[in-house]
């Protein structure tokens, strides 16, 4: 094994560890919301520092690999993909911490009927599965699984689009829960972004394993339509 191979293995290990941490952050956030577990929400907020530390380490590792080895082909794609994936994971970590903060801001338990009617638990479940499946797609080199993110992101967009009317109905039905319902609305807006981040990560997985840049392809298609 060359020194470059060793450095790439460390980089991949770091990105997987960061991924698992952020997946756990999202899962704990859903549990904190469902059970109104303020201690767990506090843990998610505190763990955001660990997420940030991973991103900084991965950035530094990539800079060192560029400077010392000037990677090409597949190795170069791994380094470039790792940089963008870690950035998106850090943003998901921010979102998980923000949602946990909303739980901490709540002054009473969240009405279970409101959680169901606004579809936030369904949304949380989809977001959690998307991020976990991007991890599986990367680790198992499964670009077919990565491509399922595009359709699932639209599911989150649909829930987000319907949220305002659902929240309004819940405020009328449960006026004593108006503040909590508005917090749920804020959570929904945040969770919609997890779909965007997972889609971005999926594009990087496809780029790494298939040497395709989907964003450029979409841009050319749009220009052709015009």
pLDDT category of residue 213 using cuts at 50, 70 and 90: confident
pLDDT category of residue 151 using cuts at 50, 70 and 90: very high
How confident is the prediction for the chain on average, in pLDDT?
A: 93
The average pLDDT across 153-168 equals: 96
Predicted confidence (pLDDT) at residue 218 exceeds the cutoff of 60 = no
Under CATH, which number does the domain 3-215 receive?
Answer: 1.20.58.220
Predicted confidence (pLDDT) at residue 214 exceeds the cutoff of 70 = no
pLDDT digits (tens, 9 = 90+) for 16-29: 999 999 999 999 99
The average pLDDT across 200-212 equals: 93
Torsion 174-44-20-197 (CA) sign: positive
The average pLDDT across 211-226 equals: 61
CB–CB of 116/165 below 8 Å? no
Q: Name the pTM for this structure.
A: 0.90
Tokens of 69: 């080895």
Predicted confidence (pLDDT) at residue 59 exceeds the cutoff of 90 = yes
The average pLDDT across 103-112 equals: 95
Predicted confidence (pLDDT) at residue 224 exceeds the cutoff of 70 = no
Predicted confidence (pLDDT) at residue 221 exceeds the cutoff of 60 = no
Q: What is the DSSP letter of 142?
A: -
Domain boundaries, the chain: 3-215
CB–CB of 180/173 below 8 Å? no
Give the Cβ contact number of residue 175 at 10 Å: 9
Predicted confidence (pLDDT) at residue 223 exceeds the cutoff of 90 = no
Predicted confidence (pLDDT) at residue 222 exceeds the cutoff of 60 = no
83-97 burial, b at 16+ Cβ within 10 Å, e below that, comes to bebbbbbbbbbbbbb
């Amino acid at each position: 094994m060359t020194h470059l191979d060793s450095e790439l293995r460390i980089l991949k290990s770091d990105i997987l560890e960061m991924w698992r941490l952020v997946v756990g952050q999202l899962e704990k956030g859903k549990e904190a919301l469902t059970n109104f577990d303020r201690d767990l929400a506090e843990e998610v907020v505190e763990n955001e520092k660990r997420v940030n530390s991973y991103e900084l380490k991965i950035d530094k590792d990539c800079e060192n690999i560029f400077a010392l080895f000037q990677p090409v082909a597949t190795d170069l794609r791994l380094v470039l993909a790792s940089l963008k994936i870690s950035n998106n994971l850090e943003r998901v970590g921010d979102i998980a911490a923000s949602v946990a903060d909303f739980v901490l801001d709540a002054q009473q338990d969240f009405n279970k009927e409101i959680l169901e009617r606004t579809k936030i638990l369904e949304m949380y479940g989809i977001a959690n599965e998307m991020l976990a499946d991007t991890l599986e797609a990367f680790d198992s080199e499964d670009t077919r699984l990565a491509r399922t993110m595009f359709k699932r992101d639209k599911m989150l967009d649909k829930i987000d689009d319907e949220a305002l009317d659902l929240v309004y109905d819940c405020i009328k039905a449960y006026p004593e829960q108006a503040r909590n319902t508005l917090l749920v609305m804020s959570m929904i807006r945040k969770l919609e972004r997890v779909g965007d981040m997972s889609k971005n990560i999926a594009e990087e997985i496809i780029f790494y394993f298939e040497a395709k840049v989907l964003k450029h392809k979409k841009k050319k298609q749009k220009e052709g339509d015009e």
